[in-house]
Structure 1
């Protein structure tokens, strides 16, 4: 039985900073669907590796960590971000740092780790539906999803968004450093041998560089209606 036979899945893929996380939370709230933040699973694996002193090139141990993550997602209200508990410790904010993002990109390039997390991600597809946020949701994890969105934006715009986000939280940040990190991460994600970041052949590609998130949300709702989701 295909995923689409079980529930309606909207796969939302794209690079870091494209707005896919915010869009996914808005969609999950609007439709009353479950939400999968697949990037969080790779970030959590990277944080677990730090906690246990595991090197990022120790593929075998990383695979075991990924397969046995002691993690809980506590749903937020409306479009708010879920609280994330790793091994009894809340890490909701800790997994969103630039250093963890960089480590997660390294971890995500490892085939055995991706394999370890694949079944876990697919288990999120439960009725009435799922919004799956990631980088290979439409190409690998849910290839039969009835609606696939690839959300993109220029590296400069994505760096600007991240810079403003960090400043708003009272954190120091360098726009140049963020831009360089985004470009490095993009190259790693798009050129990795396993599940590279790219639009699915049947994905709707949206460039959010000059779009407000509300406009992106409306465009995706229109696409969902075309697929029979109301």
Structure 2
């Protein structure tokens, strides 16, 4: 990659509500632009999975202080899987890509994400990943906290019902046995927790471009955002 092309590399921050398809869009953008893709949601899911496996969180309890004490023993990495075409998440050397995509993890991840020490640890890692630009990162606070100076910020939204239907279909395809109402309740609960937490709540950055993708195909979203990228780099 030449020096001139390096200068054109930018940081693309994609924020938004759960199940708006941020990761799907971010992965495809990164692939087309030959950028690095980082799924920050997977990082918070990894910490949540760790908490569940170590019986630090569950129905009616959350031993947050114990989780904070164990944060130094949590090592999250991404390894590219050529067969799948994207990077899978590893926790302390173990592939947990499938394990973190369950409704159980989804039910607790927003609560774990409210812990300031968890956010601080992961934000520091995320900022290091993007120091050389040429990166697409999606999450809840990328444009507001992780990369407030990102050249392009996108904020994605869709109705709760639309997002729940997408998530429900995805979980069924993965073999999970659950009801649509359970998924809808999870989506709305996560919205409430993400939007009202004290540390880095889910808000649209003032300079972010909002996209309501309730009625947009993936191809339409990619085309729209790529045009923004090319305008930014020209």
Q: TM-score, normalization: structure 1?
A: 0.90
Distance 1:205 1:77, change over 3 A: farther
Is 1:66–1:117's contact at 8 Å kept on the other side of the alignment? Answer: no
Distance 1:154 1:137, change over 3 A: same
**Matches for 1:196-207 after TM superposition, within 5 Å:** 196-207=201-212
Is 2:9–2:233's contact at 8 Å kept on the other side of the alignment? Answer: no
Match of 2:36 in 1: 34
- Select the residue among 164, 173, 176 that pairs with 1:168: 173
- Select the residue among 13, 16, 19 that pairs with 1:14: 16
Is 1:12–1:134's contact at 8 Å kept on the other side of the alignment? Answer: yes
- Select the residue among 55, 62, 75 that pairs with 2:67: 62
Match of 1:103 in 2: 108
**Matches for 1:101-180 after TM superposition, within 5 Å:** 101-127=106-132, 129-180=134-185
User: What is the CA–CA distance in structure 1 between the aligned matches of 2:181 and 2:95, rounded to whole Å?
Assistant: 30
User: What is the CA–CA distance in structure 1 between the aligned matches of 2:215 and 2:83, rounded to whole Å?
Assistant: 25
Q: Which runs of 5+ in 1 are unaligned?
A: none
Q: TM-score, normalization: structure 2?
A: 0.89
- Deviant stretches of 4+, over 4 Å: none
Is 1:7–1:125's contact at 8 Å kept on the other side of the alignment? Answer: no
CA deviation map 1:13-71 (0-9, x unaligned): 01111010000000111111111111111111111112223246333332344444223
Is 1:67–1:117's contact at 8 Å kept on the other side of the alignment? Answer: no
SS in 2 for 1:215: helix
Distance 1:182 1:58, change over 3 A: same
SS in 1 for 2:233: coil
Q: Which runs of 5+ in 2 are unaligned?
A: 1-6
Is 2:40–2:139's contact at 8 Å kept on the other side of the alignment? Answer: yes
Is 2:13–2:153's contact at 8 Å kept on the other side of the alignment? Answer: yes
User: What is the CA–CA distance in structure 1 between the aligned matches of 2:211 and 2:136, rounded to whole Å?
Assistant: 17
Distance 1:121 1:195, change over 3 A: same
SS in 2 for 1:227: helix
